Amino acid sequence: MPHSARVDVSTFLDARPMGARQWLVVLLGFIVLAFDGFDTTAIGFVAPALVDDWGIARHDLGPVMMSSLLGLAIGAMVAGPMADRLGRRKVIIGSVFFFGVWSLASAFATDITSLTLLRFLTGLGLGASMPNTATLVAEYGPKRSRSHMVTGIYCGFTIGATLGGIGSEALIEHFGWPSVMVAGGVLPIAFALLLLACLPESINFLVHRPELKQRLLQAVAKVAPGLANADTLFYSSEEKVQDKGSVGALFAPRYRLGTCMIWVTLFMGLLTMYLLSSWLPLISRDAGLSLSQAALIGSLLQAGGVLGNFTIGMKMDRFDHHKVVGLTLLGGGISAVLIALQQPTIQVLCPLIVLLGYFINGVNTGSYALATQFYPTQIRATGVSWATGMGRFGAISGAGVGALMLAADWHFNQVFLFLTLPAALGIVALTIKYRHQRRQPTLAASA
């Protein structure tokens, strides 16, 4: 293949088939999110054992649940601007190592106070890893399948959470609840060392750093051998952003309303997801299910999410992004109503929980994909990370609302009927963004 005199790094992958280097990025991103999913949801699966072991009330775990999610929010919001300035690779590797260390430390907690602090520190790393991994994968994907690639790696999160439910039951039975935290610490630490050797930097990021042209040439050569040489001019046809890596750039007139509506959608989606991830095992046990059945219900919620994550990206690559995510929100609201109208037996709940997980997980991953395509490279990590961080405040609210529901003795059916409210608000936010974007053709084309 002859060398190209000019290479547009924002489009040169679009007409090429997926190569081994791109698939490697997807695989590594998938595994990062699998560890993220395991560690993020681990506290929900060990909660019943903690209640029994420490002799505490169920709602006493509220601060623990919320501290982890607060760490997730802060970690995302700090790490996004860092990744736009320092690169995606450094931030991803550092965050995986960081959350592994503090998850391991959580195994040695002796009371609510120490566990609350350690879960907050774990959350900082977890919050930093997810959005920046999604950003890196999006920047290695061709436009025709970018949404599918981003939502596909989020299957790693739900698979990690699912294995967390299955594995936690066995680990707790044989070794006690601290063993879950040990597993969630040692494995990510080891994987961070592998990432040091294998994870590449974003080509889109490197093109904006003239001093890194040699690294850029090497990165392009590994994706498209023979395409460029030392004399090739690399450039990006994306819109240039003056205030790169700055949160203020997200509120430029071009992005302001879209930024706010993506935040609202993720806030509502993650409120729903983390209310259930944090409290569903306890709520299910209180409704008459056994401890093992409650763990199974929690795992099925995540298993349904794997299917939702995998398919929503394919739909978004074929149809309008906003309509796909909006209809998925509607499906989640309908599923919650169906569960609220049933008696909570294992036979009835299993298929309905899978269906609910399919929709509510799909909403969140679809919103992340929406964000990766809404922002240009220079503020993409910031935009995706701040959307994730603001969404995490929804997760914090979900964990807190769940604690209040338990303290107020809400019934199983009442909890699920409540979930129709965040679904409706998310649909409203997406509708506003969609209508505003249609009135701005140039913005619609870039998004």
Q: Burial code of 289-306, b = ≥16 C-beta within 10 A, e = fewer?
A: bebebbbbbbbbbbbbbb
265-279: per-residue pLDDT in tens? 989 988 888 788 777
pLDDT score of 196: 93
pLDDT score of 31: 94
Sign of CA dihedral 309, 314, 317, 322: negative
pLDDT score of 92: 94
pLDDT score of 287: 66
Could you tell me if residue 218 is inside a domain? no
**Total structural domains within the chain:** 1
Residue 445 structure tokens: 């084309």
Q: Kindly report the CA angle at 271 between 343 and 288, in degrees rounded to 5?
A: 25
Could you tell me if residue 429 is inside a domain? yes
Could you tell me if residue 365 is inside a domain? yes
pLDDT score of 232: 77
Could you tell me if residue 430 is inside a domain? yes
Asked if 250 contacts 382 with a C-beta cutoff of 8 angstroms, the reply is yes
For residue 30, the tally of other CB atoms under 10 A from its CB is 20
pLDDT score of 18: 84
Q: How many DSSP H helices and E strands does the chain contain? A: 16, 2
- Pick the closest to residue 433 from 267, 317, 262, 254 (CA basis): 262
Asked if 148 contacts 275 with a C-beta cutoff of 8 angstroms, the reply is no
pLDDT score of 118: 92
Could you tell me if residue 230 is inside a domain? no
177-188: per-residue pLDDT in tens? 788 889 889 999
Phi, psi of 7 (to 5 degrees): -130, 120
pLDDT score of 95: 93
- Where the chain has pLDDT below 50, the residues are 1, 442-447
pLDDT score of 447: 46
Could you tell me if residue 232 is inside a domain? no
- Pick the closest to residue 331 from 352, 300, 310, 302 (CA basis): 352
Could you tell me if residue 219 is inside a domain? no
Could you tell me if residue 250 is inside a domain? yes
CATH code of the domain in which 384 resides: 1.20.1250.20
Q: Which domain holds residue 296?
A: 7-207+244-446
- Pick the closest to residue 45 from 179, 147, 143, 200 (CA basis): 179
Model pTM above 0.85: no
